[in-house]
Amino acid sequence: MRLLVVEDEADLRESLARVLVDAHFAVDEAADGEDGLFRALEIEYDGIVLDRLLPRRSGDAVLAALRAAGRTTPVLLLTALDAVEDRVAGLDRGADDYLTKPFAVDELVARLRALIRRAAGTPTPAVVVGDVEVDLTRRRVHRGGGEVELTSREFDLLEVLVMHRGRVMSRAALADHLYAEDRDLLSNAIDVHVASLRRKLGADLVQTRRGLGYLVDA
């Protein structure tokens, strides 16, 4: 799952990025509203963490422009303003959630996961596909009663496919959801991970649509 963090304070932005990377997100960073909006329109992020007071373009303006462009990317607003009317104003402008600074990082991560799940139409953290059960919160996979050990990368890929189950995901789309922009990736990395997922979870779970991409059936 790939996130965009828009925050002007460099230390806070980098801290947030580190926290989110620790929580197995791929994270892009933007230091002002203009750059944040550009990236948010460029790439299909799974979620955006948006500060409200930003230079060049306020968080509210970024949010409005994003929604005006028809993007439904889940947005979590971060703000130091904690009056009820501020929170209401933020949510009314199209934010999906709201967190007041300072916050517990566990709460931030949990809220982001919940936002992303909800946006993908998967409100419960446990998803069952055939004989495979995926626990998105604890990042565990069971098959036929026994736990299957996946690498972090394998789980990330499975998570994206499960979140978008029923839809064919091209390699480029998968890469968009899996890797932050500063990561170089081997061109066949996704194919390698798909192969090991099939080895561990059965050949039928991840299907191939030749020339289009991969798919996990709904």
Partner 1 sequence: MRESLRARLLVWHTVTTALVVAVFGAAVCYLAWRDRLTDIDAALAARAAMLAGAVRPAGGDRVDVLLGPPLPPGPYAHAIWTADGRLLDRAGTSLVARPDAPGLRTREGRRERTVVAASGVRIVVSRDLAPVRQAIWTLAARLALVGAGVLAISMALGWLLAGRMLAPLARIAATARRMMAGDLAARVPAAGESTELDQIGRALNGAFDRLQAAIDRQQRFTADASHELRTPLTALSTETQWALARERTHEEWRRSLGVCARAAARMQAVVERLLAVARGAAAANARVAVRLDRLAAEAASDLAPLADRRGVTVRIAAPTLAVVGDPDRLREALTNVVANAIHYNREAGDVVVVGRRLGGQIEVAVTDTGGGIDPDDLPYVFDAFYRGRHARRQDPSGAGLGLAVTRAIVEHHGGVVHCASRPGRGTCVTISVPAPG
| Residues making contact with partner 1 (CB under 8 A) | 8-9, 11-12, 14-16, 18-19, 22, 32, 53, 55-56, 78-83, 86, 100-106
Closest CA to 103 of 165, 12, 175: 12
Nearer to partner 1, 18 or 118 (CB): 18
Continuous segment of H or E residues that includes residue 127? strand 126-129
Nearer to partner 1, 28 or 32 (CB): 32
Nearer to partner 1, 29 or 176 (CB): 29
Q: How far is the CB of 158 from partner 1 (least distance, A)?
A: 23
Q: How far is the CB of 105 from partner 1 (least distance, A)?
A: 4
Q: Residue 64: which residues within 8 A CB-CB, separation 6 or more?
A: 93, 94
Q: How far is the CB of 4 from partner 1 (least distance, A)?
A: 17
Amino acid identity for residue 109 in this structure: V
Q: Residue 209: which residues within 8 A CB-CB, separation 6 or more?
A: 168, 215
The two tokens of residue 156 are 């990330």
Q: How far is the CB of 106 from partner 1 (least distance, A)?
A: 8
Q: How far apart are CA 42 and CA 155, in angstroms?
A: 25
Q: How far is the CB of 63 from partner 1 (least distance, A)?
A: 17
Nearer to partner 1, 109 or 173 (CB): 109
Nearer to partner 1, 82 or 217 (CB): 82
DSSP three-state, residue 208 = strand
Q: How far is CA 130 from CA 55, 70, 88, 127, 154, in A?
A: 49, 34, 42, 10, 18
